[in-house]
Each structure stands twice: as structure tokens, then as C-alpha cells.
């Protein structure tokens, strides 16, 4: 069974060397969805939403929210931000397994990593 929790953070960035508007500093209201998969445990849960929130908040949200992503990630495209997020969660959410990460840069633009890519 799969369990998904949604998170939000605000951050600024620019894309060095990009030929377009995104080369200039700008911000986004990012939305992150973290999906984990596993069996239903004896307590009736696959993974406690509270624990998922705690881990993602500590490892990701507190480090990215209201920050300039260029200070953290060399080329902070949505793709590279999601790789950075995946790296921060890998050691902390291995049981149950993270099976999908989805990062919305805008309401209608997002990137996704599935279990095969994580």
C-alpha cells in the first residue's frame, strides 16, 4: 500500500547560463509530494503521517524554505532540486521504501522521480 504526504515551501533561484527569463532571480511556491510504500503493520499503518512529516520537514523543508536555492544547489533546476531532495531522504526513509517524489515548481509544471530512479 502507498502513503503520500504533501509539503510546501517557498524559495528563490535563478538558472545560471539559461537563455530565458529563468536566468534572472525569481521565486516559486513549491509543492512536494512524498510517497512511501510498504505493508500495513500490526498497528494498522504503513507509515505514520506524523513521522513522515517530521523527517521531510527536518531533512528538506527547513533547509529549503525561504532560501535562495543557488546557495544550496549549483544549478537549481526543478530536476536538480528533486535529486537533492531524494539524496536527503534516502537514508531516512528506506523502510518503508520511498517509491515516488514529485516536485511542483508551479501549479502546472512538475518533475517526478519513481522508485527505479531513486
What whole-number percentage of the chain has pLDDT above 70?
Answer: 97
**Predicted TM-score (pTM) of this structure:** 0.94
Tens-place pLDDT, residues 36-93: 999 999 999 999 999 999 999 999 999 999 999 999 999 999 999 999 999 999 877 7
Q: Report the chain's mean pLDDT, rounded to a whole number.
A: 94
> Cα–Cα distance between 45 and 71 in angstroms, integer?
38
Whole-number pLDDT of residue 98? 87
In the chain the domains, ranked by start, together with CATH numbers, are: 2-114 (3.30.479.10)
- What is the reported pLDDT for 115? 86
Active-site positions?
22, 66, 105
Phi and psi at residue 3, in whole multiples of 5°? -125, 130
Give the residue, 94 or 32, on which the prediction is more confident: 32
Q: What is the 3-state secondary structure (H, E, C) of the chain?
A: CEEEEEEEEEEEECCCCCCCHHHCCEEEEEEEEEEEECCCCCCCCCCCHHHHHHHHHHHHHHHHCCEEHHHCCCCCCHHHHHHHHHHHHHCCCCCCEEEEEEEEEECCEEEEEECCCC
State yes or no: cis peptide before 98, omega within 30 of 0: no
Residues β-bridged to residue 28: 11
Amino acid at each position: 500500500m502507498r502513503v503520500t504526504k504533501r509539503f510546501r515551501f517557498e524559495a528563490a533561484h535563478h538558472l545560471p547560463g539559461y537563455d530565458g527569463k529563468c536566468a534572472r532571480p525569481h521565486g516559486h511556491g513549491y509543492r512536494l509530494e512524498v510517497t512511501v510504500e510498504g505493508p500495513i503493520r500490526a498497528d494498522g499503518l504503513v507509515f505514520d503521517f506524523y513521522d513522515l512529516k517530521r523527517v521531510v520537514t527536518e531533512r528538506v523543508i527547513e533547509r529549503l524554505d525561504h532560501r535562495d536555492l543557488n546557495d544550496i544547489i549549483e544549478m537549481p533546476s526543478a530536476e536538480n532540486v528533486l535529486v537533492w531532495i531524494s539524496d536527503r531522504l534516502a537514508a531516512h526513509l528506506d523502510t518503508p521504501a520511498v517509491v515516488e517524489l514529485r516536485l511542483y515548481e508551479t501549479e502546472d509544471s512538475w518533475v517526478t522521480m519513481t522508485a527505479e530512479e531513486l
